Structure 1
Amino acid sequence: MTPRTPTQRIVIVGAGVAGSIMARALARQAGLEVTCLEQVAPDDHASAGLVIGPNAIKALHLRDPLLASAIGEAGLPWDHWRVSLCSGEVLLDLPLTRVADHGGVRILRATLYRVLRGAAAGTIRYRCKLLECGASPQDPARSYVVWEQDGRQCRLDDIDLLIAADGRDSPIRSAFGGQPEVHQVGALLLRLLVPDAGAGRIDDYEQWCNGPNRLLAFRLPHGQINIAGSLPLRPDNATPHVGIGPQALRAAYTPTHARPGPQAGWLIDTLCANVDAICWYRMQAPGIRFAEPRAQVMYLGDSAHAMAPPLGQGVAQAIEDACSAAELIATSLAGGETSPRAWLATFEAARLERLRFVMSVAPHAAGLMLGGATEQERASALAALRQLYCQVALPRHGVGPGAGTGLPA
């Protein structure tokens, strides 16, 4: 009689993008007992728009084609990327087919969460407030979590792998690794979701520049426009958006010696008319951390890293994280490797290499956006974007970092 393989207990904290994908993937894997804890109710979603980069759609098509198709059907395609000055002069007009195998997706965050959480139905426990977590007293490699759900306290012990997908201010990461050092990037970001009243001026993904001040906008399903922007920020400014009213916004985005173009003009007017509804946040980045060195704890998405908004890589890298981790665990189990410690080592090596490359692409792309680049610089920037959007590496057990993509280059 073949001995029964012990069940691995896995707990995922957070059912956002990465957590929901992991919950669905691991719940379908034999030999795993999977619990996903989410602090909000099932229909409690953030109201914002986002773009998902082609690389994430590619990775998801490999791991879970049905889920990738469901996301595409719920959003609009991202096929084009244009960058202009606020005066209207076009600096970049790039069909994504030049640098990607296919396009990305424009989607409401609430819609994306609904699709992902619905696909993981039965695995996610909602309204779970994390109270405590830490290393197991009997085995420091394993862990425990304590949470409150509907007024009742619950606890799980002897967790073989704890997956933190609980956001930028991750309580799991703070509990196991201490509060991460946060680097202030020096930018104040804004976000606003409005009805499409611009007579069709805004459609696919576009950006506008006025010196260091940037605007970004794209159309979403159901007649909505997502507007985002950035302004330079001194790292020591403790109250960054105080005092930024309609007059300051208009001055920031209006060219000095020209009138704004029709699109930028509409965006400026819309921001100024909706100042009280703007969501402001500081751009900051904690140090990258994908795994604890001793405890069997994995970090995904914003709990592991933060991404700059351009290039569609915020949600994209969370999706890549989850697809990579799910692929690694599945192939490891199939090959007889049941040690979470081994999974973590392979995952961390592969994701660190990929993420460092992704972060290096932004300076290349900046040259394209600002104009005045030489032909050699443009060719280098387009090659970097092509590698970003096409060469998606999903690590497998026993395969070195960066290899075994499972996808055509």
Structure 2
Amino acid sequence: MTRAPERNAVVIGAGIGGLTAALALRQRGWRVAVHERAASLEPVGSGLSVAPNALRALDLLGVGDRIRAHAAAHGEAALRRPSGRRLARTSTEGITRAYGDPIVVLHRAELVAALVEQLPEGVVRTGSAVRLVDPGDAHRPALLETPAGPVPAELVVAADGLRSASRALLFPDHPGPRYAGCTTWRTIVPRPAGVRPPLGETWGRGALVGTIPLAEDRLYLYAAAWTPPGAPAADGDERAELLRRFGGWFDPLPALLAAADPAAVLRNDVWDLVDPLPAFHRGRVALLGDAAHAMTPFQGQGACQAIEDAVVLAHHLAARAEGGELEPLLARYGDDRLPRTTQVAARSRQVARLIALRAPLAVAARDALLALAGRLPDALVVRAAAPMIDWHPPAGDVAMRPARGF
């Protein structure tokens, strides 16, 4: 087999992680092709959070300021009971003061667009299902099967999501993702006139509802409930299911849920990689994002960790230009990322266990502890998030200013 051209990278998947990796690698001198099985990158998904840790990474790629432009003024976020009684509060300005940036919540499609527009035309190839056949090694390239035939690659970035076929090939003995016990609903609605939506989350017995104002007078609504997997609403109307579950919670939550377009309510069971992988690479293949460390959504860090992965991977692979062997560089990437993503995933899982409580006494004890924590100084509450969001890109990397005037 002919050896692949030097510095030729193939990215499997055009999600947040795959696109960020493509942009980061191109800025390090790699030739990159992104293969996405979907027919297009039309707006899909709903809201997502971009915390200060991810904004710092996006600054390296010249898109951080564009994402910051989507930040909406929030004020005070609160954690409440279904009755509306406040348990705890957090000043969103406190996050900015402590970490230099807000937590920006925007539509997933807006982040995808910001990344795609920084890539040259032709880099992202939609409707192109590729399959990893051979991870390669120090003496031969990785091999992929594409619609155009076999393609060798010096590097493969497998950003192929929760059900990653690449992960299954690299680590066939790994048990894969497990059902986290809950399902989620997500949608974006126009902010109703004359209604002041509550900012924050409401926790009930094995259930929650969250509301976050977005730019342009929109509102991101999300909910979760602990229920068996694969059980969509009987009549297919997920808005009606939301109202059935949460219609008795405090006003204005029922009115906000009723404002949702039934066709725009996304329902997804939550799965995560409870068992960490032994490594994030094998041969010439690096796993990234959900393929490497799928986690529950209760800390809003899924996309953020994929963005971190991408810039750390590109940082370590910069040594490839100087003749460094590829596999040791990929091993360094995993050594950096595996402990951190394992910690973040575990923290999200801990929050999930608290929300999942249903027994009245357990819920009462949880709420009492949360109320006690809510009396702590705001600075202490904000600082508790430091293990997640007080992260900085690798030393030596320099933030780039936006290349397109954003």
Q: TM-score range by the shorter chain?
A: 0.7 to 0.9
Which 5+ residue runs of structure 1 have no aligned equivalent? 1-5, 397-403
Secondary structure at the counterpart of residue 189 of structure 2: strand
Aligned to 1:282: 269
Work out whether residues 97 and 103 of structure 1, in 8 Å CA contact, stay in contact via their aligned partners in 2. yes
Aligned residue number for residue 3 of structure 1: none
Structure 1 segment 6-405 matched on structure 2, within 5 A = 7-30=6-29, 32-40=30-38, 43-61=41-59, 63-64=60-61, 66-74=62-70, 76=72, 80-99=76-95, 100-101=98-99, 102-122=101-121, 124-135=123-134, 142-148=141-147, 153-157=148-152, 159-178=153-172, 180-202=175-197, 205-234=199-228, 237-239=229-231, 241-242=233-234, 249-254=242-247, 260-270=249-259, 274-275=261-262, 277-286=264-273, 287-289=275-277, 291=279, 294-330=282-318, 332-333=319-320, 336=322, 338-362=324-348, 363=350, 370-373=367-370, 374=372, 382-390=382-390, 392-395=391-394
The alignment partner of 1:129 has SS state of coil
Quick one: distance in 2 between partners of 1:360 and 1:406?
30
Shift in Å, 1:302: 1.4
| Equivalent residue pairs, number | 375
Alpha-carbon distance in 1 for matches of 2:58, 2:225: 33
Shift in CA distance, 385/371, structure 1 to aligned 2, threshold 3 Å: farther
Q: CA deviation at 1:325?
A: 1.4
> 1:79, 1:104 within 8 Å by CA — same for their partners in 2?
no
Once residues 315 and 137 of structure 2 are traced to their aligned partners in structure 1, the CA distance between those partners, rounded to angstroms, is: 30
* Cα distance in 1 for residues equivalent to 2:79 and 2:36: 38
Quote the Cα distance in structure 2 between the aligned partners of 1:321 and 1:192.
27
Q: Could you tell me how far 1:187 is from its partner in structure 2? A: 0.6
Q: 1:377 to 1:7 in 2, by over 3 A?
A: farther
Helix, strand or coil: the match of 1:312?
Answer: coil
Query: Secondary structure of the equivalent of 2:197?
Result: coil
Question: For the residues of structure 2 that align with 1:74 and 1:378, how far apart are their CA atoms?
Answer: 30
1:118 CA drift (Å):
0.7
Once the two structures are TM-superposed, the CA of residue 262 in structure 1 deviates from its matched residue by 2.7
Instruction: Name the SS for the 1:350 alignment partner.
Output: helix
Q: Which has the higher contact order (CA 8 A, sep 6+)?
A: 2
Q: 1:202 to 1:326 in 2, by over 3 A?
A: farther
Cα displacement string for residues 308-339 of structure 1 (whole angstroms, at most 9, x for unaligned residues)? 22332121111111122122223x347x3622
Deviations 1:83-114 (A, max 9, x none): 22232212222124435412121211111111
Instruction: Quote the Cα distance in structure 1 between the aligned partners of 2:332 and 2:73.
Output: 33
Kindly provide the CA deviation profile for residues 210-254 of structure 1, in whole angstroms up to 9, marking residues without a partner as x.
2221011223233332211011124xx543544787776445325
The Cα of 1:376 is off from its aligned counterpart by: 11
State the Cα distance separating 1:164 from its structure 2 match: 0.8
Distance 2:71 2:24 in 1: 22
Which AA in structure 1 matches 2:189?
V
* Cα distance in 1, alignment partners of residues 344 and 230 from structure 2: 29
SS state at 2:162 partner:
coil
The 1:378–1:323 alpha-carbon spacing in structure 2 relative to 1, beyond 3 Å, is: farther
Q: Secondary structure at the match of 1:166?
A: coil
Query: Larger deviation: 306-315 or 174-183?
Result: 174-183
| Structure 1 residues 136 and 333: alpha-carbon distance in aligned structure 2, compared to 1, 3 A threshold | closer
Instruction: Specify whether residues 54 and 79 from structure 1 end up closer, same or farther in structure 2 by C-alpha distance, changes over 3 A only.
Output: farther
With normalisation by structure 2, the TM-score equals 0.79
Decide whether aligned partners of structure 1 residues 280 and 98 sit closer, same or farther in structure 2, where only a CA change above 3 A counts: same
Distance change (3 Å), C-alpha of 1:137 and 1:394: closer
Hey, what's the Cα distance between the residues in 2 that align with 1:246 and 1:132? 37
CA contact (8 A) 2:66 2:114 kept: yes
Which residue number corresponds to residue 399 of structure 1? none
CA distance in 2, matches of 1:247, 1:45: 24
